A and B are shown apart, each in its own frame.
Chain A
Amino acid sequence: EVPPSCTRGCELCSEYNGCLKCMPKLFILLERNDIRQIGVCLASCPVGYFGVRNPDMNKCNKCRIENCEDCFSRNFCTKCKEGLYSHKGRCYPSCPEGFSATNGTTECTS
């Protein structure tokens, strides 16, 4: 039975820190809620975070690429903010020189 302060999928729960260790294959997200920061376990990371899998722990990391809404990894964006163009995993106000957006998409190709 998982104590109330931990979500489903938690393997090691703490009254104060929430989840400390998730079940295999799940990602731990350190969720900030005002002054609290607790661990929760998810099958996939929420939008704005990307999952990093490692043998000992899978973790959701914040996507910090400029003008990006969703990431594949620390340096590759999969979804740019509205109105921006994506090129090689980065987001631009317009396509770099030598590239253009194909038929109405926001993806720059040569």
Chain B
Amino acid sequence: MPQTWLLFPLLLAVAAPRGAQGSGLRHGGCPSGCRCEEDGARVRVDCSDLGLTALPANLSVRLAGNGLSHIHTGAFSGLEGLRVLMLQNNQLQQIPCEALQNLRNLQSFRLDANRIHSIPPGCFHSLVSLRHLWLDDNALTEVPIQALGELSSLQAVTLALNKICHIPDHAFATLSSLVVLHLHHNNIHSLGEKAFDGLWSLETLDLSYNNLVEFPVPIKALTNLKELGFHSNSIRSIPEKAFVGNPLLQMIFFYDNPIQIVGKSAFQHLPELRMLSLNGAAEVLEFPDLTGTKSLESLTITEARISSLPGSLCDQLPKLQALDLSYNLIQHLPSFSRCRTIQKIDLHHNAIQEVRAGTFQGLMELRALDLSWNRVQSVEPHAFADLPVLSKLDLSSNLLSSLPAAGLRGLTHLKLAGNDGLRELISAEDFPKLRVMEMPYAFQCCAFVGCERSQDPWYAEESEGHDLEDLLLELEEDFTSKQSVQCSPAPGPFRPCYHL
């Protein structure tokens, strides 16, 4: 991009009352090529995307998408009322600090998508009203501490997509009004112990997509934090009482970290937390103590090594709606009956041996229950009797020899495949709403799909290497008069129903 210099004095329509003295556009008319439109008491002049390599005679507030690499000292002189300045998507390597000296009313300043590698102290000295600052997608290698420190009114700043690798102590100490701080997509590998001191108003902090190896302990200073993201880092453990300093946390995103160890008290006393998801923490042996985290609606802890669940689980989580504890080592289940709002329970791939009457009793909102891939040998007669909206039950790949039908009339999906000992016939009257069935044996489908079915495309033999036309033909299926239940394995020529 050629070196371009700003040569012209800049004129602008700002928030001056219409017709008032000095209404901004001194020479009247719209800069050539720009688009001008009335916006209440202002005139909005937009010169974006014009391939400008130098500022037009009378400037617009929006200079996004041009090739500007330098802005003249006097570029904004006479524009004390300027509120919004957009310089994003240009080629600036330095911020035009001198040009900013009288912008005392500037509130929003966009510098994103330039090539800024550093910001000298004093650069933002006069921007006393600045509230929103975009510095993302630049080449900063460190936090411009002194420059930012002068922005006492700053409420939202993004330093994302830069090359920052360390946050020193007191990096944002004077930004007591800052509410949002985005630092994602940098190379941050370490944080000073007091890195976030002084950020009393901070509610959102995003540290995702960095190289953090340790849990960001300095967050303990952020007493008003509501949303924290540190996913996609290299963090291996979450310490005890990790969020003791952040009682207002509502959302924590920490997926895509190789987390192996989680302190039992790590997620205690987070009364506003709605969702908690932890996958693959192989060294978690115990269910976490969630005392005081009573608003949790969704809890996922998979691929850990939890072998038992506390009886007080539902007392700690009265608002739970979705529970996923699949891929653990759970053998015995407590009663979930005090989890009154629960809708979905995933316990597949555990070591559960039996389902007692009181385990799922009285769960009025439970729709889906997945107990597949366990060692369930027995299900007490009334285990599912009191589940009025249960529609999906998966008990496949267990050790069942019978299934009590009480309470299962509302099922639309029933999966029992892989229970080799289950040879009894399933009566169609007991399951009037079924649509998808997976049974151990084909003859158990006869009651649901009739005997003269053609080949069921869902289980048609796969033939390799055919193109889309063949594939779509292969999906063809005839339609029988019986209700449209898709049951597998489907009876057919070699698995007849005749003797039934």
Residues of A within 8 A of B (CB): 8-9, 25-26, 43-44, 51, 53-55, 72-73, 75-76, 78, 88-89
Contact = CB atoms under 8 A, between A and B. Distances in A.
A73 B178 CA distance: 14
| Contact-residue size bin, chain B (C-beta under 8 Å from the other chain) | 20 to 34
B112 interface: yes
Say what secondary structure dominates the interface of chain B.
Answer: loop
A54 B136 CA distance: 10
Contacts of B204: 73, 75-76
Contact of B112 (A9, A53, A54, A78): A53
Interface string B160-179: 11000000000000000001
B137 A53 contact: yes
Given A44-B48, A72-B180, 12 more contacts: A25-B89, A26-B89, A43-B48, A43-B49, A44-B65, A53-B112, A53-B136, A53-B137, A53-B185, A88-B155, A89-B155, A89-B179
Contacts of B112: 51, 53
5 contacts: A25-B137, A44-B62, A53-B161, A78-B107, A88-B203
A73 to B, nearest CB: 6
Interface in B140-195: 155-156, 158, 160-161, 179-180, 182, 185
A43 B179 contact: no
Q: Which applies to chain A's interface (DSSP): helix, strand, loop or mixed?
A: loop
Contact of A54 (B62, B64, B185, B201): B185
Contacts of A72: 132, 156, 158, 180
B86 interface: yes
Given A44-B89, A75-B227, A89-B180, A25 B49 contact: no
B187 to A, nearest CB: 12
Nearest to B185: A55
B113 interface: yes
A110 B201 CA distance: 12
Nearest to A89: B179
A44 B88 contact: yes
B294 interface: no
Contact of B65 (A43, A53, A54, A75): A43
Interface in B74-102: 86, 88-89
Contacts of A9: 49
A53 B137 CA distance: 8
B179 A76 contact: yes
A63 to B, nearest CB: 13
